[in-house]
Structure 1
């Protein structure tokens, strides 16, 4: 069976993320497995895809750190590189 992946983009580059419960678990550090299992076990079926997306990103601490730095910059008032939704051309 082929491995299923999700794609996201970081600085315009495509990054592959695991997309199955087994592949996400395998990509996480062992100390996070029980936390992951509890979250998956408690998830409502309609929310499972969102939960798996969250945990797929947790397999990439580098992406999480970059996201945290971006949010901190925006919270500090630095909007460099951002375009307000109302400024987008439809």
Structure 2
């Protein structure tokens, strides 16, 4: 019989496949000490239908996914600003 390792999620970050923890215990273990109280409070108050989203958010916080998201949002804002400027110039 083969041993089953801890549950993980896989996602792509910066074009690379990354495994992130996918249980309350493994996410909690991976977090810095100063984030544990906030994690426990959010997980403890999450409704059952929101728990997976809360856990995914915390698991992703352990990666550079937020930085990648910030870069995408900055590019989208810049494009929107340019388009609004062009539309205003043509009126």
Structure 1 or 2, whichever has the larger Rg, is 2
Higher relative contact order (CA 8 A, sep 6+): 2
Aligned-residue CA RMSD (Å): 1.4
Contiguous gaps of at least 5 residues in structure 2: 81-91
Q: Secondary structure at the match of 1:31?
A: helix
Aligned partner of 1:54 in structure 2 is 57
In 2, the alpha carbon distance for the partners of 1:47 and 1:25 equals: 17
Q: CA deviation at 1:29?
A: 1.0
Aligned partner of 1:27 in structure 2 is 30
Contiguous gaps of at least 5 residues in structure 1: 79-90
Aligned partner of 1:73 in structure 2 is 75
Match of 1:12 among 2, 15, 38: 15
Number of residue pairs the alignment of both structures matches: 77
Aligned partner of 2:44 in structure 1 is 41
Q: Please, what TM-score do these two structures have when normalized by structure 1? A: 0.78
Q: CA deviation at 1:12?
A: 3.0
Q: CA deviation at 1:20?
A: 0.4
